[in-house]
Amino acid sequence: MADRRKTLFQRISDWYEGKMIPHDNLPASEVFFFGWYYERHWTANVARVLFTFYLAHWQWLIGTIIGVAGLWVAILALR
């Protein structure tokens, strides 16, 4: 069971991080570029955007959710 969880965690981590792609260097060139970039799945990019948005705006987001939930409870109580 622990191996399966580790595998699942590793698969999610690999999906979120993406595939590391090294920069292409021309074989005949005297200039060599170090570095890489990550090629991510589009769903991982969406998850990153949503997570970054949450981290930047969690204060008002939680307050808004509590306020909407309070209004919903009040409307249901008035029925």
Q: Is the pLDDT confidence value at 29 over 90?
A: no
Which DSSP helix (H) or strand (E) runs through 40? Answer: none
pLDDT at 1: 61
Mean pLDDT to the nearest integer, 15-29? 85
Give me the amino acid identity at 14: D
Question: For residue 32, what are the contacts with CB-CB under 8 A and spacing of at least 6?
Answer: 25
Q: Any idea where the domains of the chain sit in the sequence?
A: 1-40, 42-79
More confident call, 32 vs 2: 32
HSE toward the beta carbon, residue 36, CA cutoff 13 A: 9
Instruction: Show the CA angle centred on residue 37, arms to residues 36 and 38, nearest 5°.
Output: 135
Q: Is the pLDDT confidence value at 48 over 70?
A: yes
What percentage of the chain reaches a pLDDT higher than 90?
52
Q: Is the pLDDT confidence value at 32 over 80?
A: no
